[in-house]
Amino acid sequence: MTERVTEQLVVGDVVADHTYWITRENLVRYAGASGDFNPIHWNERVATSVGLPGVIAHGMLTMALAGRLLTDWLGDPAAVVEYGVRFARPVVVPDDDIGVAVRVAAAVTEVRDDGLVALELTVKVDEQKVLTQARALCRLPADRPSQP
């Protein structure tokens, strides 16, 4: 993966894209791992009683999956220096074995002289953005060739 990072990056480059699937099982696992046991993420009755269309994914799980795209690309997880998102739309997770597809793509918005790269993430379910203002600042590996 590192070779891709060390290539010359240009604003507008889509450096990575991937489709992640979220099932109810993933929600239960994430609830346990994160300690976020809000019932809207595992209980249909509660979710619909508060006006949601159904059980929804933890916003932080969607954020973590979009972040995975970055760390898969970078290699070193600690190369992410800043990461922020707005949870624009709930991700409804159906009660089946397939789950919901979350499509994530990362595009370069700025290549800085200090070796940091700003990226904008597009995170969509059914062609609708579920995260907006999803932006990250990443440090490229030290062996990256210097800018011309």
Partner 1 sequence: MPIDPSVVGRVYPPQLYEVSREKIREFAEAIGDANAAYIDTAAARGYGHADVVAPPTFVMIPVMNGFDLLMKDLGIEFARVVHVDQRFTYSQPLPVGTRVEATTRLDGVRAVAGNDLLKIRTEVRAEDGSDICLSEATLLVRPEDSDGRDASD
By the rule CB under 8 A, 42 interacts with partner 1: no
Which one among 13, 42, 68, 109 touches partner 1, defined by CB under 8 A?
68
Which one among 50, 97, 98, 148 touches partner 1, defined by CB under 8 A?
50
The type of residue at 119 is: L
8 A C-beta contact, residue 122 and residue 107: yes
* Residue 147 CA, distance from chain mean position: 28
Which secondary structure element, helix H or strand E, spans residue 146, and what is its range?
A: none
8 A C-beta contact, residue 70 and residue 76: no
Which one among 6, 8, 19, 49 touches partner 1, defined by CB under 8 A?
49
By the rule CB under 8 A, 4 interacts with partner 1: no
Which one among 3, 10, 12, 35 touches partner 1, defined by CB under 8 A?
35
To the nearest 10 degrees (0 to 180), the angle between helices 59-74 and 24-34 is 90
* Distance, CA of 86 to CA of 59 (rounded, Å): 9
Interaction with partner 1 in 71-110: which residues (CB under 8 A)?
71-72, 75-78, 80-87
Interacting residue ranges for partner 1, rule: CB under 8 A: 20, 26, 29-30, 32-36, 38-40, 46, 49-51, 59-61, 63-65, 67-68, 70-72, 75-78, 80-87, 133
